[in-house]
A = this chain, B = another copy of it.
Amino acid sequence: MNSYGRKFRISIFGESHGEAIGVVADGVPAGISLCQADFMKDLERRRSGAAGTTPRRESDLPEIVSGVCDAHTTGAPLAILFRNENTRSSDYSMFREIPRPGHADFVAAVKFGGYNDIRGGGHFSGRITLALVAAGVIAKKILAHNEKSSGIQIKAEITALGGLARERQAEWQPLIEEILKEGDSVGGIVECCCTNVPVGLGEPFFDSLESQISHLLFSIPGVRGVEFGDGFAAAGMRGSEHNDPIADAEGKTARNGAGGINGGISNGNPVIFRVAVKPTSSISRTQKSFNFKNNHIEEFKIKGRHDACIALRVPVIVEAVAAIVLADSI
């Protein structure tokens, strides 16, 4: 289902080239100041524009449809709407016959009997993350409003792009330009760090903080892996290395190899996780796929406007995920 959360509950809707994208957020406490301007900074970070991002331009102005009165939340559900403006339906008709590799065209057609909205990926489009970023803005407001969580800082950034780690960040821009020329795309790794998280968020077992965060992260189109703290490296470590002695009465540990979480519950250290983002599926180069009408493999090209590296736009989405989970856990 297209909803998530227990106390802070969000429901998303919309299609890439339909009328609008939106989110309904329920469980928002009353009395939080909120206006359109509050959304703009995070929305701007998600927007295209930089080299390597799609030339499709949308104003992405959030319309607050409900739940706010006199510039404050009322306790009733918030509905936020983003009208789609720069839509192009015609570019996508051929993908009913030739599903694009790496896209949901094939599975959507099977699952929804061919009734899925194919235009721009429809409900499977990365554009739906607009709703997630808007929900993240609300979640950050909730955290700031609550005394217990008002100190939380959430910051995500790219730590590797196209296989080049942060130490080689100077090579990222030239790589993207090269990739653009080749009509190809690259992936990246995004790391998120949440500081000042109070001890005790998350639940044992099924609603561990890792479970909740990974659940939302793997909703973001293009995410292939998630790890916390030492992550996959922990699998190659000894217990005496990975065990991280508690060093003070606040629970601070030496290395934070657990990524701020023990037994599914925040331990007072920064909550740290990394997300592997695949290279954009839509590339301009000639590709092959199976033509379900002719019943044979065919070469084809995807026209239109794409990101060379969706990872560039993912950090603010990852922050939104962290904020949503934390707001639901407070």
Contact = CB atoms under 8 A, between A and B. Distances in A.
B123 A74 contact: yes
User: How extensive is the interface on chain A, given as a class?
Assistant: 35 or more
B276 A76 contact: no
Nearest to A103: B262
A230 interface: yes
Interface string A294-307: 01010000000000
Interface centre among A76, A208, A229 (most CB of B within 10 A): A76
Number of copies: 4
A163 B19 CA distance: 48
Interface string A2-34: 111010010111110011111010110011000
Interface string A216-259: 11110101111111111111111111111111110101000011
5 contacts: A3-B9, A13-B67, A104-B262, A160-B236, A235-B311
Contacts of A81: 65, 81
Interface stretch (A36-44, A52-60, A136-144, A186-194): A186-194
Contact of A245 (B230, B247, B287): B287
B218 A211 contact: yes
A20 B22 CA distance: 14
Given A13-B65, A185-B238, A187-B234, A1 B203 contact: yes
Given A1-B206, A108-B263, A297-B245, A179 B276 contact: no
A262 B74 contact: no
Given A9-B3, A287-B243, A277 B235 contact: yes
Interface stretch (A112-120, A147-155, A166-174): A112-120
A242 B262 CA distance: 34
Contacts of A237: 163, 186-187, 278-279
A75 interface: yes
Interface in A54-110: 63-67, 69, 72-79, 81, 99, 101-104, 106-108, 110
